[in-house]
Amino acid sequence: MRKYIIPILYAAIVSACSNSVENNKMESKNGSSKKAEIIKLNFDNSRNTLMLPAELLAFEKAGLNAKIQGYVTEVRVDIGDKVMKGEVLIRIEAPEVQAAYSEAQSDVESARADYMSSKDTYTRLLKASEIQGTVSESELIKAKNKAMSDSTRLKALDFTARAKRQLLNYLTIRSPFTGVITQRNTDPGNLVGDTDNNPLLIIENNQKLRLKVPVPEALTGSSIAEDSASFSVAPFPGKVFKADYYRRAKSIDPDTRTEMWEFLVDNQKGNLNAGLFAEAQLSIKRPDGSLWVPHSAVLTTLRRKAVGKVEDGKLKWVEVSTGMKDEDRVEIFGTLNEGDQILLQPNEEMTEGMPVN
């Protein structure tokens, strides 16, 4: 008899447990009140630190080309050379330009002689005309017009000569600013001209560098929290450099959907080279603050991102978009206000309108 009692008791216990679990499941499906951890939303003006890729570029950079056609006679510099503003870098020879200038100068001297002669004639006739009847009025007018005509011609030829003199200046290429020669693409004997696309020399001012940081479109409504940024580069592992905030583009690049922010780097010692890739760290903040919540408070599915707002003791899903984030929190935007209460850990099983306590 005893051997039948034990299986019967076991079956009764299993049946009772099963019914208890089922009843709990049903209570959940019927929307019974659930205990949940709730947090209150507050505006936060704290700074957020970003790590963004960046690039170091020369503060000034120029490609030097020949403005007129000629043969290179002298190249005074090579790559890596430091040059001063106004320093002679290249000389070019163009005999036809020199001949044109000499001819223009000769025309000026001839015109000047004609003008001096006609001016002298008019002056003499004007003085003689003080004695009535000595010089006719038409003769005096003719002399005056001749002097004026010669004066105009002299000015025109002198202007032409000055223009051709300027062409001679183009035969000497000078440094536009103090910097370093980074490229040399010509040698003595080369024929160069104004149609060349490849610059003869490239010069860069590397005493100051531009740290260019492309900031993602979503963050461009923020402002820089500090007037500087820090960055690191591969050639100096473990070393952190400083850059001062300079300006921002105020325009979004349609290809990268970023806005360029610039910082200036003091490079008087010349340790850093233009063209280096860098990793920049900068602090930014929203001008009016924003709502921040723990990562767990945002429910992310394939269809949406939402938070569970508790309103009048019931759950209301509010769709949000996210902005900046750090290790613990994420910035959210949606139809939410300071003081609203939301669930700390919502899940997909929770339904709109269910009681929350």
* Statement: residue 20 has pLDDT above 50: no
Lowest mean pLDDT among 17-21, 45-49, 61-65: 17-21
User: Using one digit for the tens of pLDDT, what is the confidence trace for 98-121?
Assistant: 888 888 888 889 989 988 998 888
**Regarding beta strands 305-311 and 299-300, do their DSSP bridges make them parallel or antiparallel, or are they unpaired?**
antiparallel
Does 44 or 317 have the greater pLDDT score? 317
* Domain 50-60+205-285: CATH superfamily, name plus number: Efflux pump adaptor protein, beta barrel domain (2.40.30.170)
| CATH class held by domain 289-357 | mainly beta
Helices (H), 30-128: 95-128
Tell me the mean pLDDT in the region 134-142: 81
Query: Phi and psi at residue 178, in whole multiples of 5°?
Result: -75, 130
* Statement: residue 211 has pLDDT above 50: yes
* Statement: residue 182 has pLDDT above 70: yes
- Contact status, residue 320 vs residue 305, Cβ threshold 8 Å: yes
Q: How does DSSP classify residue 312?
A: T
Task: Return d(Cα 228, Cα 56) in angstroms, integer.
Answer: 15
Q: How does DSSP classify residue 41?
A: -
Give the 3-state secondary structure of residue 218.
helix
Percent of the chain surpassing pLDDT 90: 54
Q: What does the block give as tokens for 103? A: 């001819």
User: Using one digit for the tens of pLDDT, what is the confidence trace for 258-311?
Assistant: 999 999 999 999 899 999 999 999 998 887 778 989 999 999 998 899 999 999
DSSP code per residue over 157-192: HHHHHHHHHHHHHTTEEE-SSSEEEEEE---TT-EE
